[in-house]
Structure 1
Amino acid sequence: MNDIPQDAEAVLRLAAQSMFDVLASTAQGAMVVNREHRVVWISEGYKRFLPALGFRDESEFVGRRVEEVVPNTLMAQVIDTGQPILVDLLTNKAGTFLVSRLPLRGPGGDVIGAMGMVLLDHPETTMQPLMNKFACLQAELDETRRQLAAEQSRNRCAKHRIVDFIGSSPAAVEVKRHARRVAQTGATVLLLGETGTGKELLAHAIHAASRRAAKPLVSVNIAAVPETLLEAEFFGVAPGAYTGADRKARDGKFKLADGGTLFLDEIGDMPPALQAKLLRVLQEQELEPLGSNAVVKVDVRVIAATSRDLAAMVQRGEFRADLFYRLNVLPIRLPALRERSEDIETLVEVLLEDIARRSGLAPKTLSAEALRALEGKTWPGNVRELRNALEQAFLMSDDDELGPRHFGLDEAATATATVGIGALGRLTTSGVSGPVETLPARKAELERSAIAQALHSTNGNRVAAARLLAISRATLYEKLAKYPELASA
Structure 2
Amino acid sequence: MSPLLQRAHNRCPGRRPDGRGRGAGVQCAPVNPAVLPAPTLPADLDGVLRLAAQSMFEHFAVAATGMMLLDREHRIVWISEGYKHFLPALGFTHESEFVGRRVEDVVPGTLLAEVIDSDRPILVDLLTNRAGTFVVSRLPLHDAQGQVIGAIGLVLADQTKLQPVVQKFAHLQQQLDDARRQLSEQRRPKYTISSFIGVSPAAQEVKRQARKVAALDSSVLLLGETGTGKELLAHAIHAASPRASKPLVGLNIAAIPDTLLEAELFGVAGGAFTGADRKGREGKFAIADGGTLFLDEIGDMPLALQSKLLRVLQEQEFEPLGSNTVRRVDLRVIAATSRDLPSMVARNEFRADLYYRLAVLPIRVPPLRERREDLEALAEALGEDIARRSGMPQRTLEPDALALLAAQPWPGNIRELRNVLEQASLMSDALRLEARHFAGLLPGGTAAAAAPGAPARISAPAVDATDPAAALRPLPEQIAELERRAIAAALAHTQGNKVATAKLLRISRAALYEKLALYGL
TM-score (norm 2): 0.57
Match in the other structure for 1:250: 281
- 1:307 maps to a residue whose letter is S
**Structure 2 counterparts to residues 87-486 of structure 1, below 5 A:** 91=125, 96=135, 122=156, 132-408=163-439, 416-418=449-451
SS at match of 1:314: helix
Task: Note closer, same or farther for the CA distance 1:256–1:413 as it changes in structure 2 (3 Å cut).
Answer: closer
Q: Name the CA shift for 1:200/1:410 in 2 (closer, same or farther; >3 Å).
A: closer
Tell me, yes or no, if the aligned pair for 1:216 and 1:260 is still in contact at 8 Å.
yes
Alpha carbons of 1:287 and 1:46: their partners in 2 closer, same or farther (altered >3 Å)? farther
- 1:170 Cα deviation from its structure 2 partner: 1.9
Opposite residue 287 of structure 1, the aligned amino acid is: F
Give 5+ residue unaligned stretches, structure 2. 1-36, 42-52, 73-118, 128-132, 137-154, 456-521
**C-alpha deviation, 1:399, in angstroms:** 0.8
- Describe the superposition over 1:353-373 as per-residue Cα deviations: whole angstroms up to 9, x where unpaired: 221222222222111111111
Conserved 8 A contact 1:53-1:70: no
Q: Residue type matched to 1:139 in 2?
A: A
Task: Specify the code of the residue in structure 2 equivalent to 1:385.
Answer: E
User: Which range moves more in the overlay, 320-329 or 196-205?
Assistant: 320-329
CA 1:415–1:406 in structure 2 vs 1: closer, same or farther (change >3 Å)?
Answer: closer
Bigger Cα Rg? 2
Give the aligned partner of residue 84 of structure 1: none
Deviation sequence 1:412-447 (CA, Å, 0-9, x none): 95664336xxxxxxxxxxxxxxxxxxxxxxxxxxx8
- Cα 1:399–1:368 shift into 2, 3 Å: same
The count of aligned residue pairs is: 336
- Post-superposition shift, 1:55? 10
How far did residue 274 of structure 1 move? 1.5
- Contact 1:195–1:307 (CA under 8 A) maintained in structure 2: yes
**Identity value in percent:** 57
Change (3 A) 1:154 1:273: same
CA 1:48–1:359: 2 relative to 1, 3 Å: same
1:96–1:183 CA distance, 2 compared to 1 (3 A): same
Q: How far apart, CA to CA, are the structure 1 residues paired with 2:361 and 2:323? A: 33
User: SS in structure 2 opposite 1:292?
Assistant: coil
Q: 1:353 to 1:92 in 2, by over 3 A?
A: closer
Corresponding letter in the other structure for 1:262: L
> What is the distance in 1 between the residues matched to 2:203 and 2:273?
48
Contact 1:353 1:363 in 2 (8 A): yes
Deviations 1:29-66 (A, max 9, x none): xxxxxxxxxxxxx9985998899899999xxxxxxxxx
In structure 2, relative to structure 1, the CA distance for the partners of 1:284 and 1:410 (3 Å cut) is: closer
Q: C-alpha separation between the residues in 2 aligned to 1:375 and 1:142?
A: 54
Q: How far apart in 2 are the matches of 1:302 and 1:160?
A: 17
Residue 395 (structure 1) shift: 2.0
Shift of residue 199, structure 1, vs aligned partner: 0.3
RMSD: 3.8
1:124 Cα deviation (Å)? 7.8
Give yes or no for contact 1:188–1:303 (8 Å, CA) kept in 2.
Answer: yes
Change (3 A) 1:123 1:291: farther
